[in-house]
A and B are shown apart, each in its own frame.
Chain A
Amino acid sequence: MKKTSSVFYWMTIPAFILFFVFHTLPALQGIFYSFTDYIGFGDYGFVGFRNFINLLNDGRAFDAYIFTFKFAIVSTIIVNILSLLIALGLNAKIKFKDTFRAIYFVPYMLSILVVGYIFNHIFTFILPEIGRNLGIDILSKNILGNMDLAWIGVVILAVWNSSGFNTLLYLSGLQTVPDELYEVAKIDGAGKWDQFKHITFPLIAPFFTINIVISMRGFLMVFDHIMALTQGGPGRATESITLLIYNGGFMGGEFAYQTANAVVFLIVVLSISLFQIKVLQKREVDY
């Protein structure tokens, strides 16, 4: 084996330093604080595992986990179905293909907070108006003010916002599928559905994996959506973990306690991502 020039190692140093100072160090600091009773400023002392033990008995954190997972799973499924469909459509030979591709990507480029306020307006004024005119009782009130429905409002915003990005990934995946395979399939008399099931889907499986992992991870971190729409309300119906950490840690003076929560959450997200990659990669094929 040829020896790698040491220049390449030196080239990684700047990136490594930046990553270490701005990412690893704060993370380590956070882990350190999770073993203290720090309130964000002033003096503090060590409390051992007390924060973690309190966390186990915290019904509010439990509810936040339930909400976050419900939201993340539902959003991930909808986003992936939707963006795969859009990608299939945009990959076909249609007119104005490039224009459509650009349009579908626009929502992803907009700031969630800005879009969130627009959606807030839609949910508060426009949707109830439509609901009243059509005589649909459940739509005639702001769904964000309804404890059972508010989370659906958040899902709608999240799906609308992030589908564009996943569509892009699926599109690039579809372009890796060689045309000859379809020709061969046609000669063998395979229908559209069979083509999709036996050629397209298996071949874009790596993209499916990455899409699922990325969107799941993103949705587990949901924050701005909720900030713009409900601030966690009504009651605590849409309080996600990140929102709980922010609310309790910065507003509530429970800095150390919520840091402990963040450490636990980090481990959870990490293990879910690893699990997904392991399971989904088994399904990938290579022709």
Chain B
Amino acid sequence: MKKLALSLTNFLLILLLVFTTSSVFARQVELEFFQSKREAVTTFNELITKFEAENPNIKVIQNQVPDAETVLKSRLARNNVPDIMGLGGNYTYGQIAAAGILKDFSNDPYLAKTQLAYQKMLQDLHGKKGHYGIPYTANANTVLYNKDKFAELNLEIPKTWEQFIDTAKKIKAAGGTPFYLTFKDAWTIIVPWNSLAANLHGENFIEQRLENETTFEDRYQKVAERIYKLLDYGQNDVFGYGYSQGNQAFANGESFMYIQGVWAINPILESNPDLNLGAFALPAVNDADENMLVSGVDTVLTMNKNTDHPEAAEKFIEFLLEEENAQFYIDEQMTFSAVENVFQEDPTVVDLKTYFESGNLAPFPDHYYPSGMQVPNLIQGFLHEGDVEEFLNTLDSEWNKVQSR
């Protein structure tokens, strides 16, 4: 018995020694990088490897979970804030930024490396003076089209809403499917909605709606009518299929156009690498020069105000913002950079470049709708029932209800 006790103490001693020495050698800083884009996991991993090679004493652990925003919110509820975060520039980001748990980057030199338009978009989301995040990449809300099929019918990229509908009519007359609509997944309806609303709801709609100076009923008539019009040119059973089935179908050439943002390009090319596809901005208005491309901050980088390792975390953010790394990221992800002098040159999205040059960009309208309204589901319901007046009234009453809580 005594022998056993002795060997046990020896064993414990050895264990203790091993742990203490290893922790002495491993004076490594460990950072959690929580990010919400599943498609970007490998790209970030490559960047992290590069970063760790340059900074051997910092270890960055990427954390990507499904439904990242919900997970993050529940973690924040427990006051468990990740060190570094890469989030979508949307309503949720605004809420988190307004809650005062993120670092204020206003005086940091690297903030100035990014485009002012996107900095402003982020500020509008939380309505405060500071900069609680750094815009990293931007996306674009587009219509994807099958270049080969367009060539078959001698079609050109439509520049106005009328041309857009004409194009769809021609395709339908030729026996093709103009759009593959994936309205089983409510969120996909927000894609055409955003393009239409951004161009048609008029200036300062959100500010005025917040002040109760205007209503959806006043400003969204055309938006609702035009989105309803799209139903005429979808495949059979537009409410029967969802996003992944839509990507698949468009990749297989089942439709001429597919109303999705640039984020869908990679998944589509994955199922059919030979697809010759392009992207154009949905022409929501009839004056081609006035049409705006809806573009928002795809990834905003930010960090916990109270992280244990602020220098290391800042170092990682600065690293990501370096031109070379920013370029690498957008080339891999087919997005656009918010860092100045870094441009997307891919031929697939070349038709969008004029918008970035002229600055005819508009933020995503739905990022400013309170998410408690669940606008996508409301639109889905409207597309089933088709009553514009009732739908716009619902939007207004839901807005009022959510604001009053």
Report the nearest A residue to B382, measured CB to CB.
A235
Residue A48 at the chain B interface, CB threshold 8 Å: no
Majority-rule SS of A interface residues = loop
**Those of A113-157 within 8 Å (CB) of chain B:** 124, 128, 140-142, 144-147
**Of listed A57, A230, A235, A237, residue having the most chain B CB within 10 A:** A235
Residue B370 at the chain A interface, CB threshold 8 Å: yes
**Given A40-B74, A58-B401, A142-B239, are A252 and B371 also a contact pair (CB < 8 Å)?**
yes
By the criterion CB–CB under 8 Å, are A54 and B237 in contact? no
**Those of B305-330 within 8 Å (CB) of chain A:** none
Map CB proximity to B onto A229-246 as digits: 1 under 8 Å, 0 otherwise.
011111111010000000
Which residues on the B side are within 8 Å of A145 (C-beta)?
Answer: 183-184, 237-241
Q: How many residues of A contact B (CB 8 A)?
A: 38
**Those of A234-277 within 8 Å (CB) of chain B:** 234-237, 239, 247-248, 250-255, 257
Which residues on the B side are within 8 Å of A124 (C-beta)?
Answer: 184, 240-242, 245
By the criterion CB–CB under 8 Å, are A141 and B237 in contact? yes
By the criterion CB–CB under 8 Å, are B77 and A41 in contact? yes
By the criterion CB–CB under 8 Å, are A41 and B183 in contact? no
By the criterion CB–CB under 8 Å, are B380 and A235 in contact? yes
- Tell me the complex Cα distance, A147–B377, Å: 12
By the criterion CB–CB under 8 Å, are B76 and A41 in contact? yes
**Given A40-B76, A54-B404, A251-B70, are A235 and B384 also a contact pair (CB < 8 Å)?**
yes
Residue A51 at the chain B interface, CB threshold 8 Å: yes
Q: How many residues of B contact A (CB 8 A)?
A: 43
By the criterion CB–CB under 8 Å, are A253 and B95 in contact? yes
Which residues on the A side are within 8 Å of B238 (C-beta)?
Answer: 145
Majority-rule SS of B interface residues = helix
By the criterion CB–CB under 8 Å, are B77 and A235 in contact? no
Report the nearest A residue to B187, measured CB to CB.
A231
By the criterion CB–CB under 8 Å, are A40 and B73 in contact? yes
Residue A39 at the chain B interface, CB threshold 8 Å: yes
Report the nearest A residue to B378, measured CB to CB.
A235
Residue B32 at the chain A interface, CB threshold 8 Å: no
B77 CB → nearest A CB, Å: 5
Surface stretch bound by A, among B96-104, B115-123, B138-146, B172-180: B96-104
Report the nearest B residue to A252, measured CB to CB.
B372
Which residues on the A side are within 8 Å of B74 (C-beta)?
Answer: 40, 250
By the criterion CB–CB under 8 Å, are A39 and B95 in contact? yes
Residue B402 at the chain A interface, CB threshold 8 Å: yes
Residue B381 at the chain A interface, CB threshold 8 Å: yes
By the criterion CB–CB under 8 Å, are A250 and B73 in contact? yes
By the criterion CB–CB under 8 Å, are A142 and B241 in contact? yes
Which residues on the A side are within 8 Å of B380 (C-beta)?
Answer: 233-235
Which residues on the B side are within 8 Å of A141 (C-beta)?
Answer: 236-237, 239-240
- Tell me the complex Cα distance, A57–B405, Å: 12
By the criterion CB–CB under 8 Å, are B371 and A142 in contact? no
Residue A45 at the chain B interface, CB threshold 8 Å: no
- Tell me the complex Cα distance, A237–B101, Å: 37
**Given A145-B237, A147-B381, are A231 and B73 also a contact pair (CB < 8 Å)?**
no
By the criterion CB–CB under 8 Å, are B377 and A232 in contact? yes
- Tell me the complex Cα distance, A193–B45, Å: 69
Residue B362 at the chain A interface, CB threshold 8 Å: no
Which residues on the B side are within 8 Å of A254 (C-beta)?
Answer: 372, 402, 405
- Tell me the complex Cα distance, A230–B384, Å: 15
Residue B148 at the chain A interface, CB threshold 8 Å: no
Which residues on the A side are within 8 Å of B241 (C-beta)?
Answer: 124, 142, 145
Map CB proximity to A onto B376-401 as digits: 1 under 8 Å, 0 otherwise.
01101110110000000000001001
**Of listed A39, A233, A237, A255, residue having the most chain B CB within 10 A:** A233
By the criterion CB–CB under 8 Å, are B95 and A142 in contact? no
By the criterion CB–CB under 8 Å, are A236 and B73 in contact? no
**Those of A17-49 within 8 Å (CB) of chain B:** 37, 39-43
- Tell me the complex Cα distance, A241–B379, Å: 20
Which of A57, A233, A237 makes the CB contact (< 8 A) with B184? A233
Residue B374 at the chain A interface, CB threshold 8 Å: yes
Which residues on the A side are within 8 Å of B184 (C-beta)?
Answer: 124, 142, 144-145, 230, 233-234
Residue B217 at the chain A interface, CB threshold 8 Å: no
Which residues on the B side are within 8 Å of A234 (C-beta)?
Answer: 183-184, 186, 239, 380-381, 384
Instruction: Provide a sorted-by-A list of 5 A–B residue pairs whose CB atoms are within 8 angstroms.
Output: A39-B99, A41-B73, A233-B380, A235-B380, A253-B73
Taking A234-B384, A235-B385, A250-B70 as given, write out 5 further A-B residue pairs in contact, using a Cβ cutoff of 8 Å, ordered by the A residue number.
Answer: A234-B186, A234-B239, A239-B377, A248-B372, A251-B70
Q: Which A residues are within 8 Å of any B CB, using their own CB?
A: 37, 39-43, 51, 54, 57-58, 60, 124, 128, 140-142, 144-147, 230-237, 239, 247-248, 250-255, 257
